[in-house]
Structure 1
Amino acid sequence: MARRSVALGDRRTSGPNPVDVHVGGRVRLRRTLLGMSQEKLGEAIGLTFQQVQKYERGANRVGASRLFDLSRVLDVPVGFFFDEMPTDVAASSPAQRPGVGRPAPEQELDPLVKRETLELVRAYYKIEDASVRKRLFEMTKALASASGRDSGKSED
């Protein structure tokens, strides 16, 4: 029996969201790679095997706290569940529609909200030697200062 389309604001859906289906498939993949049954996974995160089945089919969305629990039990980073997502699936997300889910213009200019900044900070703190970290910090400040002085010059 086909599902009836349900109006959600200005969009219509006719079944599970493709992103939810992808995430569920990644849950199933990791669970089976570990040789774990749906029942054992359910016990580990406080669910019935039927609820695990619904997650794996994409019939139920996986909330943030549940995704965190799944990543711990399945011993993978949260990002694993989104890896290898086809571009058409990612594009089906409502946030990918024009004008929806885009950062405000002032956020686009703020370097503190950029992914690059977060990756840089994470990499910096992975440097275990505090003296190396300090030298890198000082070097970065010097480069930024020199760049500011050179900003009036034209580039070749």
Structure 2
Amino acid sequence: MSNHPTDTHVGAMIRGRRKALGISQQALADRLGVSFQQVQKYERGDNRISASKLYAVAHCLSCPTTYFFDGLSTCHISTEGGPLMLTAEDLEVVRLLSTIPSSKVRRQIVTLARALAAEA
């Protein structure tokens, strides 16, 4: 089974930040209370990092947790039909749609989107 693209991206961001600060894998591992092999697995994206551990990594590397998601161009959501990958434009449409106060107008937009998708 291959690594999830988000885990790989987050791991690469951890590695980049750690190296930029001149912190060794062992030093980061010691501060996190894990083995340096575990840090290696996080950095390669082999192991997913929990929210609490990511928060601890951010604290150790003096950055916000959002730093690790910078540059991530897609959002991966699991659905019954498999993974759904959302682009920045997809997320913008969702954000804009959620700002429309009228549920009737939102439903009309969804109907329009269905019609356009059916033609594609």
TM-score, length-normalised on structure 2?
0.65
5+ residue gaps, structure 2, are 86-97, 102-120
Alignment partner of 1:35 is 2:22: yes
Alignment match, 1:53: 40
Amino acid at match of 1:50: Q
Alignment match, 1:26: 13
Could you say what secondary structure the match of 1:97 adopts?
Answer: strand
Q: Which residue of 70, 75, 84 maps to 2:57?
A: 70
Q: Which has the higher contact order (CA 8 A, sep 6+)?
A: 2
TM-score, length-normalised on structure 1?
0.50
Identity of aligned residues (%): 42
Q: State the aligned residue count.
A: 86
| Richer in strand (by share) | 2
Distance in 1 between the 2:19 and 2:34 partners?
Answer: 17
Alignment match, 2:114: none
Amino acid at match of 1:76: C
Alignment match, 2:77: 94
Alignment match, 2:118: none
Alignment match, 1:82: 69
RMSD of equivalent CA atoms: 2.3
Q: Deviations over 1:100-145 (max 9, x none)?
A: xxxxxxxx47x8xxxxxxxxxxxxxxxxxxxxxxxxxxxxxxxxxx
Distance in 2 between the 1:67 and 1:50 partners?
Answer: 16
Alpha-carbon shift at residue 53 of structure 1 (Å): 0.1
Structure 1 stretches of 4+ with a deviation exceeding 4 A read none
Instruction: Compare CA radii of gyration and give the structure with the larger one.
Output: 1
